[in-house]
């Protein structure tokens, strides 16, 4: 039973309904007539609790919201007939089996059995209205409210729909608004006219005293499940997949580059360390100590020279070796194969066979191991490198503050390539490696005539180092050599103990530090651009999803007409954002993996190591979290822009 007692409603100073009192029975077809703008739709909205009266009371027994049918069928064109009828049950969280049974029964009641899987766009106007009525019936409400359901139908179809409603009214109350007075008089059990804010009875019948109110049952206040929300979103996006796919693709592409940047920043240090660990002289370090020679006020004169024994012991460099760079310079011009290249010459204390690409280790002063950069600079194929020889002459004046005599030493070096180091060309330069032990033996055979005459005994270059401990002698150079299993650890230890007064140098670590700093700076710039790009793409995604909500306004409008409207509206948004998130995440995984393979392949072709991980769990987790956050914002924020007025107009138009 539906009862209105002294119901009043208006918009501002304009009165629409003025003290309406009426009592509708449990069943029957009640038809309302009235001119356009008289308030018929407003009265229906009050009966459905879509609007609240300014005064008066509206009572429903049982207190179950009416099922409503609008002038337009309001069918979702991306759903089948059965799926349209199932919509209210999905929104209430009804179980699948029970929902399917109810939907098919409702379609049978309106004469549409066998058309469950048909496209609603292929139905006639009358059939579409029948689907809309079946969707209302599936709610099992004792009240059915209809706003001009025949307004857009021809006369014959209108008669069919009214006959159907007349039959349905035998078991429930059907409250219908129409402009067709002839049909109203023909089919109505109760007939009213809304005029000047008053409801004037034209035809009334006495309530059947034998009828009893149905026992009110507690209805479950369910809501749209996430799976059903994803189902509706998938159906809606099927024909719009290009737009949402492009939005997800560009966001995923930016996130993939962000993932690569984070991965690179996390791996660059270890990757470079691994790269330089392959250097043939890895583990060789030099020590230089900075001493102040003179100072005046804020000015001071400083120089690097050989460290003291105490400094070496404090650092942990127990065994050190003198440098022969004064007699065999660290850099020399090599002429070979018709080309000249500046190459580094580095002593190696411990040569490792497993660091060779081919050939063997250097055993005499006339043998060297070269790296691939040396061969590439001189245009020599690796297969033709072994056995090739080159030579140069070096002269040096040997003096010492402890001696009066000096010697001019002229040494003709002739080297033969006996091995090729397994180094990569990345961040590398032409290098030749010789045996420090062999060099020591050689310099022990090169005698200094004048100094030997002064001391009256043979003095070789090697023995000269032990004759005097003057650290400033030029022939000593400015450094000592020693080996360490952890070059980086030794460098860090020197910085902790001595600050910048002791310089520990490793070729590989020096290149690693400078390269890492450059790459890190470039990554900072790249990440800043990526953040701007992601922000721009997010804005595009936001606008794209907003336009999708506008296109799917009918679903949002229908959701509002059923219980838990606000909650279900959010569930619809969840379906959109989870769909967007799942699509974006899948693209991030595919694009991120592809980008890693492609980048590593390009680096490998350029003789660089693979700096990117195939899957970096930490960076990928962060990026996917960003994707979820962007999807959440892109799914929820546009929903706020969909106005209630836009939804209301979709439902009823202007009264």
Task: Give pLDDT tens digits for 480-516.
Answer: 999 998 888 899 999 999 988 999 998 888 888 888 8
Query: Based on the number of CB atoms within 10 Å of its own CB, is 408 exposed (0-12), middle (13-18) or buried (19 or more)?
Result: exposed
pLDDT of res. 528: 86
What confidence tier does 299 reach under pLDDT thresholds 50, 70, 90?
confident
Is the pLDDT confidence value at 380 over 90? yes
String of DSSP letters for 211-275: --PPPP-PPP-----HHHHHHHHHHHHGGGHHHHHHHHHHHHHHHHHHHHHHHHHHHHHHHHHHH
Cβ pair 441, 347 in contact under 8 A: no
Residues 81 and 124: their CA atoms lie apart, in Å, by 12
Is the pLDDT confidence value at 209 over 50? no
Residue 92, CA distances (Å) to 138, 392, 574 in order: 11, 91, 16
Q: What is the DSSP letter of 355?
A: G
Is the pLDDT confidence value at 214 over 70? no
HEC readout, 443-469: HCCCECHHHHHHHCCCCEHHHHHHHCC
Residues 368 and 360: their CA atoms lie apart, in Å, by 10
Residues 511 and 146: their CA atoms lie apart, in Å, by 80
Q: What is the mean pLDDT of residues 262-271?
A: 83
Residue 487, CA distances (Å) to 266, 310, 448, 515 in order: 21, 20, 36, 17
More confident residue, 527 or 607: 527
Q: What is the mean pLDDT of residues 218-231?
A: 77
Is the pLDDT confidence value at 650 over 80? no
Residues near 237 by beta carbon (within 8 Å), at least 6 away in sequence: 244, 548, 579
3-state secondary structure of 62: coil
More confident residue, 151 or 279: 279
Nearest to 428 by CA among 612, 276, 270: 276
Is the pLDDT confidence value at 301 over 60? yes
pLDDT of res. 208: 52
Q: Which helix (H) or strand (E) holds 340?
A: strand 339-348
Is the pLDDT confidence value at 583 over 70? yes
Residues 204 and 216: their CA atoms lie apart, in Å, by 26
Percent of all residues in the chain with a pLDDT value above 90, rounded to a whole number: 36
More confident residue, 207 or 93: 93
Q: What is the mean pLDDT of residues 254-277?
A: 84
**pTM score:** 0.72
The number of residues in the chain equals: 655
Is the pLDDT confidence value at 293 over 80? no
Nearest to 277 by CA among 97, 511, 441, 494: 511
Q: What is the mean pLDDT of residues 42-71?
A: 86
pLDDT of res. 557: 85
Residue 523, CA distances (Å) to 260, 401, 589, 601, 649 in order: 10, 52, 21, 20, 51
pLDDT of res. 222: 74
pLDDT of res. 205: 63
Can you read off the two tokens belonging to residue 260? Answer: 């690569």
pLDDT of res. 158: 86
Nearest to 173 by CA among 127, 218, 207: 207
Query: Based on the number of CB atoms within 10 Å of its own CB, is 102 exposed (0-12), middle (13-18) or buried (19 or more)?
Result: buried
What confidence tier does 148 reach under pLDDT thresholds 50, 70, 90?
confident
Helix axes of 125-137 and 155-168: crossing angle, nearest 10 degrees = 20
Query: Based on the number of CB atoms within 10 Å of its own CB, is 379 exposed (0-12), middle (13-18) or buried (19 or more)?
Result: exposed
Q: What is the mean pLDDT of residues 633-643?
A: 83
In the chain, the N- to C-terminal Cα span, in Å, equals 26
What confidence tier does 652 reach under pLDDT thresholds 50, 70, 90?
low
Cβ pair 135, 85 in contact under 8 A: yes
pLDDT tens digits, 517-551: 888 888 888 888 888 888 888 888 888 888 888 88
Is the pLDDT confidence value at 655 over 60? no
Which domains are present in the chain?
2-222 (3.40.50.300), 237-277+514-652 (no CATH), 284-503 (no CATH)
pLDDT of res. 223: 83
What confidence tier does 210 reach under pLDDT thresholds 50, 70, 90?
very low
pLDDT of res. 428: 86
Residues 335 and 328: their CA atoms lie apart, in Å, by 17
Is the pLDDT confidence value at 575 over 80? yes
Is the pLDDT confidence value at 654 over 70? no
> Pairing state of beta strands 2-11 and 55-60?
antiparallel
Can you read off the two tokens belonging to residue 307? Answer: 């460290």
Average pLDDT, the chain: 87
pLDDT of res. 206: 54
Residues 564 and 554: their CA atoms lie apart, in Å, by 17
Q: Which helix (H) or strand (E) holds 602?
A: helix 565-605
pLDDT tens digits, 407-445: 999 999 999 999 999 988 878 899 999 999 999 999 999
pLDDT of res. 221: 59
pLDDT of res. 480: 92
C-alpha atoms less than 13 angstroms from C-alpha of 568 in its C-beta half-sphere: 24
Nearest to 364 by CA among 430, 416, 431: 416
Cβ pair 102, 139 in contact under 8 A: no
String of DSSP letters for 362-386: --STTEEEE-HHHHHHHT--GGGTT
Residues near 296 by beta carbon (within 8 Å), at least 6 away in sequence: none
Query: Based on the number of CB atoms within 10 Å of its own CB, is 290 exposed (0-12), middle (13-18) or buried (19 or more)?
Result: middle
Can you read off the two tokens belonging to residue 386? Answer: 């072994």
3-state secondary structure of 332: strand
Residues 315 and 497: their CA atoms lie apart, in Å, by 8
| Omega prior to 389 cis, within 30 of 0 | no
Q: What is the mean pLDDT of residues 193-208?
A: 79
Can you read off the two tokens belonging to residue 95? Answer: 């179980």
What confidence tier does 212 reach under pLDDT thresholds 50, 70, 90?
very low
């Amino acid at each position: 039973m539906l009862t209105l007692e002294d119901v009043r409603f208006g918009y501002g100073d304009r009165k629409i309904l003025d003290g309406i009192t009426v009592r509708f029975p449990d069943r029957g077809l009640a038809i309302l007539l009235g001119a356009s703008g008289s308030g018929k739709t407003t009265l229906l909205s009050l009966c459905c609790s879509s609007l609240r009266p300014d005064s008066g009371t509206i009572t429903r027994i049982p207190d179950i919201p009416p099922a409503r049918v609008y002038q337009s069928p309001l069918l979702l064109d991306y759903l089948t007939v059965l799926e349209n009828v199932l919509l209210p049950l999905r929104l209430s969280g009804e179980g699948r089996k029970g929902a399917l049974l109810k939907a098919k029964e409702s379609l049978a009641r309106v004469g549409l059995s066998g058309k469950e899987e048909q496209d609603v766009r292929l139905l006639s106007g009358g059939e579409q209205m029948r689907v809309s009525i079946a969707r209302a019936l599936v709610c099992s409400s004792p009240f059915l409210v209809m706003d001009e359901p025949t307004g857009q139908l021809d006369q014959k179809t209108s008669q069919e729909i009214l006959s159907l409603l007349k039959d349905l009214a035998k078991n429930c109350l059907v409250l219908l608004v129409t402009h067709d007075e002839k049909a109203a008089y023909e089919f109505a059990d109760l007939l009213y006219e809304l005029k000047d804010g008053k409801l004037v009875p034209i035809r009334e019948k006495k309530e059947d005293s034998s009828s009893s109110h149905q026992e009110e049952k507690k209805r479950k206040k369910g809501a749209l499940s996430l799976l059903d929300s994803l189902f509706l979103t998938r159906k809606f996006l099927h024909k719009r997949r290009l737009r949402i796919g492009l939005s997800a693709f560009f966001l995923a592409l930016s996130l993939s580059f962000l993932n690569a940047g984070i991965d690179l920043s996390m791996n660059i240090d270890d990757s470079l360390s691994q790269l330089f660990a392959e250097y043939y002289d890895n583990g060789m370090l030099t020590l230089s100590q900075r001493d102040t020679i003179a100072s005046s006020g804020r000015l001071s004169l400083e120089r690097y020279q050989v460290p003291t024994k105490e400094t070496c012991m404090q650092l942990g460099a127990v065994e050190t070796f003198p440098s022969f760079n004064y007699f065999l310079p660290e850099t020399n011009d090599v002429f070979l194969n018709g080309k000249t290249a500046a190459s580094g010459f580095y002593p190696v204390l411990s040569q490792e066979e497993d660091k060779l690409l081919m050939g063997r280790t250097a055993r005499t002063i006339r043998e060297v191991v070269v790296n691939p950069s040396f061969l590439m600079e001189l245009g020599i194929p690796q297969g033709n490198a072994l056995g090739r020889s080159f030579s140069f002459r070096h002269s040096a004046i040997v003096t010492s503050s402890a001696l009066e005599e000096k010697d001019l030493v002229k040494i003709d070096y002739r080297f033969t390539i006996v091995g090729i180091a397994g180094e990569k060309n990345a961040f590398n330069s032409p290098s030749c490696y010789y045996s420090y032990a062999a060099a020591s033996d050689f310099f022990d055979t090169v005698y200094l005539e004048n100094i030997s005459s002064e001391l009256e005994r043979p003095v070789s270059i090697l023995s000269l180092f032990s004759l005097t401990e003057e650290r400033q002698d030029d022939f000593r150079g400015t450094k000592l050599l020693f080996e360490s299993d952890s070059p980086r650890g030794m460098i860090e230890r020197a910085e902790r103990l001595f600050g910048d007064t002791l310089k520990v140098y490793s070729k590989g670590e020096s290149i690693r530090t400078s390269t890492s700093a450059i790459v890190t700076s470039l990554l900072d710039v790249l990440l800043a651009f990526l953040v701007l790009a992601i922000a721009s793409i997010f804005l595009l995604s936001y606008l794209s999803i907003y336009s999708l909500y506008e296109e799917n306004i009918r679903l949002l409008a229908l959701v509002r007409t059923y219980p838990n409207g606000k909650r279900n509206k959010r569930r619809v948004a969840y379906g959109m954002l989870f769909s967007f998130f799942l699509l974006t995440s899948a693209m991030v995984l595919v694009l991120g993996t592809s980008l890693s393979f492609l980048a590593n392949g390009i680096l490998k072709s350029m003789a660089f190591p693979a700096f990117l991980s195939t899957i970096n769990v930490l960076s990928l987790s962060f990026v996917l979290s960003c994707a979820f956050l962007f999807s959440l914002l892109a799914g929820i924020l546009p929903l706020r822009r969909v106005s209630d007025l836009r939804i209301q107009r979709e439902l009823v138009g202007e009264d």
